[in-house]
């Protein structure tokens, strides 16, 4: 039975068989057969092409309302372009799956597996491969190279922390303060067995923090000096940072971030404002060493203090006070990022071998000069 | 048989494209960027179907899934390359030279071949997913040799201060065209680079003036004032060079022995589309931002008067009115993402669409009856799609 359009009112359409680049003018007829409804495409010669209505699909997101392009389910490239509105309406009525386009169910499963594999691989690269490689290289790097790396990193940090982008953060170098600082370092490191020249800097910033950079740079912020109540506390913190330098932790970290920052840029890069995210992420990564590395640096500091005849319990005092304070501005602080402050304080107290009548590292005047090094 | 010339119709209109682009880019933001592979697919489907050489529309048959999968593969490969490569460079640079200038330079230079590689692969993928009259296009796999050639030709262009550019344009286009197929028929770029010279004269004048101004600037600062004249000249000359190069090279392309092309886009029209397009984009952006600010003011006033159920305006900033505070954050996020969504959408509507219309409507195919002999080519699986270009964020505008 003919459902639509008989020979007296022929409707034509453009047909391409997907085999040759020829446009066939075909007469379209819709018929009911034993195997269901079928679209007949009558070519000028030869057998008509038969499309089961169940297989007919309509292309999506097409421009122009004057023509509708049809194809078959799956990858078959044959196409039918119909410009007759009533035939398009009829096809819309008769073809049940016109807009069913889930012809890639096998791909969806592969997609899930691939996504998991991709995330795992990137994680492996960022968290295992790059750090492992960085650790190897940190040991192999000559001291001169480490110093250059430290110089470059120090410059970057000063630029990043400055208020406007064209300057660097101010270095504090009041002469009396510097003299006090040198005295302090001389007390801690009397010998010459340290692998680097220690280069100690105070930066004019309110953050309560100190950190070490590759090649012997140790940086303190003004905020740390304001927060400390005695020179012995500062000595403890310097000892801790010297531990990091001795163990080459900053070199490892700088190399690691050189690798992972590139990867993060690749992953986050094309979101607007990616640079900010990148910067923050990098800083957050930088603020943390492993628990083992922190404990080792603390032990190193305890030993240095004991050798210098200074009590390591002052270090504990400092962390006790810091812990009581609000953690608001400790987000970026390397000192406050220690995993277990209670154990850390206990360790500092337990390691103390010096009685209370020790010889003070700085007298009151020198201590005040140090605190005022930024003025 | 007489020579049959096929004109190209264009069926794209602003309204449907605007809604399609707005819908898909909003979904892209809501899915944290994942939908962008489907967005690209759907927008391409629209643009392709708008171009109808000889009355039959092009068809884009790529899928979002394959793009996402290609992207994932590319991210892993690039993560390895960038992570490990950067690290080794950094180490060597500091260990041997005590500075990182070489490392930065090398890590940038190291990405250049990948950039050209990705460009070629993306083009091959797009061609493999383009059909016309039911027949697939295709490109040969030659991405590394393309990258190598492109680097050398660009180097020559830079070292010659831009004088080499026409020849570079021709040679790269010839390399790509000679590896492009329609069904089982190959394209061929005939002609030579000298045919681009006529269209290059304004480019050369602009270039000459700019170089003169630059060199003169060393001697006499006031010579730099010449740049005011020379830079616009150079820019317009460059556009003219690209448009005429497209015209000449399209006219000199052959598909098999008997099918030729004729393109006649006009520089004035192309420049006009750019200028008017970006003017309209800017105008719409400003108007919608003004509208947003007005809405924000109205909301503020209503908050202040308590009409929305908040006690006072002060609660908004005192920290007590928590939900009002979230309202402000949501508002800021809406404005931020709304701006970028709108920018992208308007650019498609006011620049890409009219530009494609101009290039499509001025394209003819000569010897169309010879198309009948062209047979289908097998499907190019190309599972990595345009992943590298996506990962490096150098995908084409559409
Ligand atoms: Zn530490």
Q: Test A69 with B96 for CB contact under 8 angstroms.
A: no
Task: Among A45, A65, A94, identify where a domain stops.
Answer: A94
Min mean pLDDT across A102-111, A128-137, B334-343, B374-383 is at A102-111
Whether residue A160 is found in the same domain as residue A29: no
Q: Test A77 with B56 for CB contact under 8 angstroms.
A: no
Distance A242 CA to ligand 1 centre (A): 9
Distance from CA of A289 to the nearest CA of B (A): 19
In this prediction, residue B144 carries a pLDDT of: 93
Residue A104 lies in a domain: no
Q: Test B59 with A262 for CB contact under 8 angstroms.
A: no
Element (H, E) at B156: helix B143-159
CA-nearest residue of chain B to A61? B46
Whether residue A137 is found in the same domain as residue A73: no
Whether residue A166 is found in the same domain as residue A74: no
The range of the structural domain enclosing residue A327 comes to 114-371
Q: Test B98 with A64 for CB contact under 8 angstroms.
A: no
Helix, strand, coil distribution of chain A in percent, nearest 5: 50, 15, 35
Residue A311 lies in a domain: yes
CA-nearest residue of chain A to B99? A148
Q: Test B76 with A122 for CB contact under 8 angstroms.
A: yes
Residues (pLDDT < 70) of chain B are 1-3, 98-100, 304-325, 393-398
In this prediction, residue A273 carries a pLDDT of: 38
Nearest CA to A148 out of B276, B161, B97 is that of B97
In this prediction, residue B154 carries a pLDDT of: 95
Residue A100 lies in a domain: no
CA-nearest residue of chain A to B391? A266
* Coil, helix or strand at residue B260: strand
Q: Which pair of structure tokens corresponds to residue A269?
A: 């890069």
Considering only residues A7 and B296, tell me which one the structure prediction assigns the higher pLDDT.
B296
Q: Which of A23, A129, A255 sits opposite B90 (nearest CB)?
A: A255
Whether residue A135 is found in the same domain as residue A41: no
pLDDT of A240 higher than 90: no
In angstroms, the CA A196 to CA A142 distance is 11
Residue A90 CB partners (closer than 8 Å, separation 6+): A3, A4, A30
In angstroms, the CA B64 to CA B197 distance is 41
Whether residue A225 is found in the same domain as residue A290: yes
Q: pLDDT tier at A332 (50, 70, 90 boundaries)?
A: very low
Distance A294 CA to ligand 1 centre (A): 5
Q: Test B91 with A255 for CB contact under 8 angstroms.
A: yes
Q: What is the CATH number of the domain that holds A71?
A: 2.30.29
Whether residue A56 is found in the same domain as residue A155: no
Whether residue A175 is found in the same domain as residue A260: yes
pLDDT mean over A77-91:
91
Q: pLDDT tier at A13 (50, 70, 90 boundaries)?
A: very high
Look at chain A and report how many structural domains it folds into: 2
pLDDT of A257 higher than 90: no
Element (H, E) at A36: strand A36-42
**Residue A345 near residue A310, CB atoms below 8 Å:** no
Whether residue A204 is found in the same domain as residue A173: yes
* Coil, helix or strand at residue A314: helix
Region for A332 from its dihedrals, namely left if φ exceeds 0, alpha if ψ lies in -120 to 50, beta otherwise: alpha
In angstroms, the CA A285 to CA A280 distance is 9
Q: Test B133 with A16 for CB contact under 8 angstroms.
A: yes
In this prediction, residue B233 carries a pLDDT of: 93
Most confident of A124-128, A172-176, B183-187: B183-187
In this prediction, residue A23 carries a pLDDT of: 92
CA-nearest residue of chain B to A121? B76
Residue A102 lies in a domain: no
In this prediction, residue A278 carries a pLDDT of: 46
Whether residue A253 is found in the same domain as residue A206: yes
Whether residue A141 is found in the same domain as residue A48: no
Whether residue A159 is found in the same domain as residue A307: yes
pLDDT mean over A17-37:
89
Residue A89 lies in a domain: yes
Q: Test A152 with B20 for CB contact under 8 angstroms.
A: no
* Coil, helix or strand at residue A333: coil
Residues of A in contact with B183 (CB under 8 A): 21
Q: Taking the mean position of all CA atoms in its chain, how far away is CA B323?
A: 42
Distance from CA of A29 to the nearest CA of B (A): 21
Residue A220 lies in a domain: yes
Task: Among A94, A128, A143, identify where a domain stops.
Answer: A94
In this prediction, residue B297 carries a pLDDT of: 82
Residue A108 lies in a domain: no
Q: Which of A77, A263, A269 sits opposite B83 (nearest CB)?
A: A263
Residues of B in contact with A147 (CB under 8 A): 98
Residue A105 lies in a domain: no
- Number of Cβ within 10 Å of residue A187's Cβ equals 19
Q: For chain B, how far is it from start to end, CA to CA, in angstroms?
A: 39
In angstroms, the CA B126 to CA B299 distance is 47
- CA angle (B73, B26, A114) in 5-degree steps: 20
Q: Which pair of structure tokens corresponds to residue B94?
A: 């500091």
Residue B182, CA distances (Å) to A306, A368, B133 in order: 82, 83, 11
pLDDT of A270 higher than 50: no
Whether residue A120 is found in the same domain as residue A68: no
In this prediction, residue A81 carries a pLDDT of: 94
């Amino acid at each position: 039975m003919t459902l639509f359009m008989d020979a007296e009112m022929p409707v034509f359409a453009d047909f391409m068989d997907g085999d040759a680049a020829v446009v066939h003018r075909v007469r379209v007829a819709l018929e009911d057969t034993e195997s269901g409804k079928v679209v007949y495409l009558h070519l000028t010669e030869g057998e008509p092409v038969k499309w089961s209505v169940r297989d007919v699909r309509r292309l999506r997101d097409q421009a122009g309302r004057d023509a509708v392009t049809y194809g078959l389910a799956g990858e078959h490239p044959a196409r039918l372009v119909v410009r007759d509105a009533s035939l398009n309406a009829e096809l819309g009525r008769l073809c049940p799956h016109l807009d069913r386009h889930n012809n890639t169910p096998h791909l969806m499963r592969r997609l899930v597996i691939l996504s998991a594999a991709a995330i795992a691989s990137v994680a492996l690269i960022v968290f295992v491969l790059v750090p492992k490689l960085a650790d190897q290289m940190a040991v192999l790097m000559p001291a001169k190279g480490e110093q250059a790396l430290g110089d470059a990193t120090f410059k970057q940090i000063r630029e990043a922390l400055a208020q406007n982008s064209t300057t660097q953060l101010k270095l504090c170098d009041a002469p009396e303060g510097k003299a006090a600082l040198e005295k302090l370092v001389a007390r801690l490191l009397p010998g010459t067995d340290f692998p680097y020249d220690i280069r100690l800097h105070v930066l004019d910033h309110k953050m309560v923090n100190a950190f070490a950079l590759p090649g012997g740079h140790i940086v303190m912020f003004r905020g740390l000096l304001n927060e400390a109540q005695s020179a012995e506390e500062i000595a403890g913190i310097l000892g801790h940072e010297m531990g990091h330098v001795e163990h080459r932790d900053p070199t490892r970290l700088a190399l690691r971030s050189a690798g992972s920052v590139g990867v993060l840029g690749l992953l986050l890069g094309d979101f607007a404002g990616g640079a900010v995210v990148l910067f923050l992420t990098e800083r957050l990564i930088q603020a943390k060493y492993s628990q083992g590395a922190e404990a080792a640096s603390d032990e190193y500091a305890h030993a240095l203090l004991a050798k210098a005849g200074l009590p390591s319990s002052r270090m504990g005092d400092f962390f006790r006070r810091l812990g009581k304070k609000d953690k608001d501005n400790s987000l970026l602080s390397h000192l406050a990022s220690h995993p277990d402050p209670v154990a850390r304080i206990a360790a500092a107290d337990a390691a103390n071998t010096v009685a209370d009548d020790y010889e003070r590292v700085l007298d009151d005047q020198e201590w005040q000069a140090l605190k005022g090094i930024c003025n | 048989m007489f020579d049959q010339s096929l004109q190209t119709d264009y069926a794209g209109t602003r309204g449907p494209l605007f809604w399609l682009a707005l819908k898909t880019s909003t979904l892209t933001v809501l899915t944290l960027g994942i939908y962008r592979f489907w967005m690209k697919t759907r927008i391409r489907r629209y643009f392709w179907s708008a171009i109808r050489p000889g009355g039959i529309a092009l068809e884009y048959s790529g899928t979002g899934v394959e793009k996402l999968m290609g992207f994932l593969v590319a991210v892993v490969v690039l993560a390895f390359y960038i992570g490990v490569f950067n690290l080794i460079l950094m180490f060597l640079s500091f260990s041997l030279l005590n500075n990182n200038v070489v490392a930065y330079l090398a890590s940038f230079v190291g990405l250049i071949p990948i950039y050209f590689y990705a460009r070629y692969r993306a083009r091959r993928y797009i061609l493999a997913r383009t059909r016309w009259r039911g027949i697939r296009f295709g490109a040969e796999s030659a991405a590394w040799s393309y990258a190598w050639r492109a680097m050398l030709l660009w180097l020559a262009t830079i070292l010659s201060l831009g004088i080499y550019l026409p020849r570079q344009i021709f040679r790269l286009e010839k390399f790509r065209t000679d590896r492009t197929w329609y069904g089982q028929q190959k394209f061929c770029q005939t002609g030579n680079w000298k045919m681009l010279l006529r269209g290059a004269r304004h480019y050369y004048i602009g270039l000459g003036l700019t170089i003169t101004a630059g060199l003169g600037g060393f001697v006499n600062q006031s010579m730099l004032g010449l740049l005011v004249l020379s830079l616009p000249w150079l820019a317009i000359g460059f556009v003219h060079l690209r448009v005429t190069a497209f015209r000449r090279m399209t006219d000199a392309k052959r598909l098999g022995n008997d099918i030729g092309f004729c393109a006649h886009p006009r520089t004035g029209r192309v420049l006009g589309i750019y200028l008017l397009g970006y003017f309209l984009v800017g105008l719409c952006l400003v108007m919608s931002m003004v509208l947003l600010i007005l809405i924000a003011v109205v909301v503020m006033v209503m908050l202040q008067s308590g009409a929305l159920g908040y006690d006072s305006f002060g609660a908004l900033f005192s920290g007590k009115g928590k939900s009002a505070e979230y309202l402000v954050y949501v508002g800021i996020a809406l404005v931020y993402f709304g701006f970028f969504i709108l920018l992208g959408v308007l650019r498609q509507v006011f620049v890409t669409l009219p530009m494609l219309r101009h290039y499509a409507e001025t394209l003819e195919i000569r010897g169309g009856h010879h198309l009948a002999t062209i047979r289908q080519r097998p499907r190019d699986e190309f599972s990595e799609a345009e992943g590298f270009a996506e990962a490096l964020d150098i995908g084409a505008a559409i």
